Structure 1
Amino acid sequence: MEGVGGDGASVASPVSQWGHDAWRMYQYYLDKSTPHMTYRWIGTLVVVAIYCLRVYYVQGFYIISYGLGIYLLNLLIGFLSPLVDPELEVSNGPILPTKGSDEFKPFIRRLPEFKFWYSITKAFWIAFVMTFFSVFDVPVFWPILLCYWIVLFVLTMRRQIAHMIKYKYVPFNIGKQKYGGKKPSTSDGPRGD
């Protein structure tokens, strides 16, 4: 009974093997890019510029841009929000201090920076690919969409900033002290006498 239940069943097709190898290579480079935050964001800005140029030159696909803007606003809210919202749930884990006498707990984002970057980059690539299909070019009066998105952004950010003020947290590292390690003093080194 050759071939039944033997090695023939465990051999993957060349197409699936190629797909698996491509996915592993993609994941490898994605993992290697993790510590290089500045370069990742520069790459994302290039993708954003390519998308904006495509929409500008085609003069269409405004509904895709509006949907992309709503999605980016949703990602931004997740990026600025704490993992455990004191208004919504009581947790046994780390929570934000609400009084000056409370113990300091580090700010942990609901959406970490890497996932925030990755989601934005994927969203712009998907939107860019969608601009090549005319079915997505729905005719709309784009100034109304832009005004509605700006109003939505202002209202959402005002609510988020009020939440940040109420619970006294800052989701950014700007101005915070960083540990630089032990600095050598002049008395620690060898003397030149």
Structure 2
Amino acid sequence: MEGVGGDGASVASPVPEWGHDACRMYQYCLDKTTPHMTYRWIGTLVIVVIYCLLVYYVQGFYIISYGLGIYLLNLLIGFLSPLVDPELKVSEGSLLPTKGSDEFKPFIRRLPEFKLWYAMTKAFRIAFVMAFFSVFDVPVFWPILLCYWIVLFVLTMRRQIAHMITYKYIPFNIGKQKYGGKKPSTSGGGPRGD
């Protein structure tokens, strides 16, 4: 019983084992970057700038950029939306606090910051690779695409802001409230009440 399946499985499939090790190493590197939000976003900003310079100097690949813009708009909506949409859960009561006397419930995003960063970085990397193949350089009049994307952005954000106002939630963490301590009173004679 000891020798059954021991050597045969590892000798027969070295490629899947190598692929599995590479996936584990990639996930390990992603996990190590999780607490370093500023550095992750700086790296993504470098990729974005390189892609924008490539599109500017080549004067092409506007369809890829338009598709990328639509995808980024979709990610932004997921980032600004609550995990459970109060519009869909009206029958069970509001899941977000609507009055000051309601229980505090923290805002939980449908798309967390790390997943937003990862999806955005991956999208720009894919667009960057696609920009090296001329089959994706479809000739279009880019100002029309830009105007259409701006109109789409404004309409979508208007709807999202109306949703935020209706259900009274703010998708941003303004910061931890700090306790200032007791303020000394100016009336009275002193600590003993002289």
Residues 79, 109 of structure 2: 8 Å contact kept:
yes
Displacement of 1:78 in angstroms is 0.3
Which runs of 5 or more structure 2 residues have no equivalent in the other structure?
none
Residues 131, 137 of structure 2: 8 Å contact kept:
yes
Displacement of 1:89 in angstroms is 2.3
Describe the shift of the 1:178–1:128 C-alpha distance in structure 2 as closer, same or farther (beyond 3 A): farther
Q: Percent identity?
A: 90
Q: Quote the Cα distance in structure 2 between the aligned partners of 1:131 and 1:97.
A: 46
Describe the shift of the 1:92–1:17 C-alpha distance in structure 2 as closer, same or farther (beyond 3 A): farther
Q: Quote the Cα distance in structure 1 between the aligned partners of 2:85 and 2:96.
A: 8
Moved more, 163-172 or 177-186: 177-186
Counterpart in the other structure of 2:45: 45
Q: Quote the Cα distance in structure 2 between the aligned partners of 1:114 and 1:94.
A: 27
SS of alignment partner, residue 12 of structure 2: coil
Q: Deviations over 1:73-112 (max 9, x none)?
A: 0000000000111111258799211223321210000000
Larger radius of gyration: 2
Matches of residues 28-107 of structure 1 in structure 2 within 5 Å? Answer: 28-90=28-90, 95-107=95-107
Describe the shift of the 1:165–1:12 C-alpha distance in structure 2 as closer, same or farther (beyond 3 A): farther
Q: Deviations over 1:139-177 (max 9, x none)?
A: 111100000000000000011111111111111112442
Displacement of 1:52 in angstroms is 0.6
Residues 86, 94 of structure 2: 8 Å contact kept:
no
Moved more, 16-25 or 64-73: 16-25
The alignment's C-alpha RMSD in Å is 5.0
Residues 94, 105 of structure 1: 8 Å contact kept:
no
Aligned length: 192
Describe the shift of the 1:107–1:61 C-alpha distance in structure 2 as closer, same or farther (beyond 3 A): same
Displacement of 1:11 in angstroms is 3.1
Counterpart in the other structure of 1:190: 191
SS of alignment partner, residue 20 of structure 2: helix
User: Normalising to structure 1: TM-score of the pair?
Assistant: 0.84
Q: Quote the Cα distance in structure 2 between the aligned partners of 1:159 and 1:106.
A: 22
Displacement of 1:13 in angstroms is 3.2
Describe the shift of the 1:126–1:180 C-alpha distance in structure 2 as closer, same or farther (beyond 3 A): farther
Describe the shift of the 1:7–1:124 C-alpha distance in structure 2 as closer, same or farther (beyond 3 A): same
Which runs of 5 or more structure 1 residues have no equivalent in the other structure?
none
Q: Quote the Cα distance in structure 2 between the aligned partners of 1:83 and 1:151.
A: 26
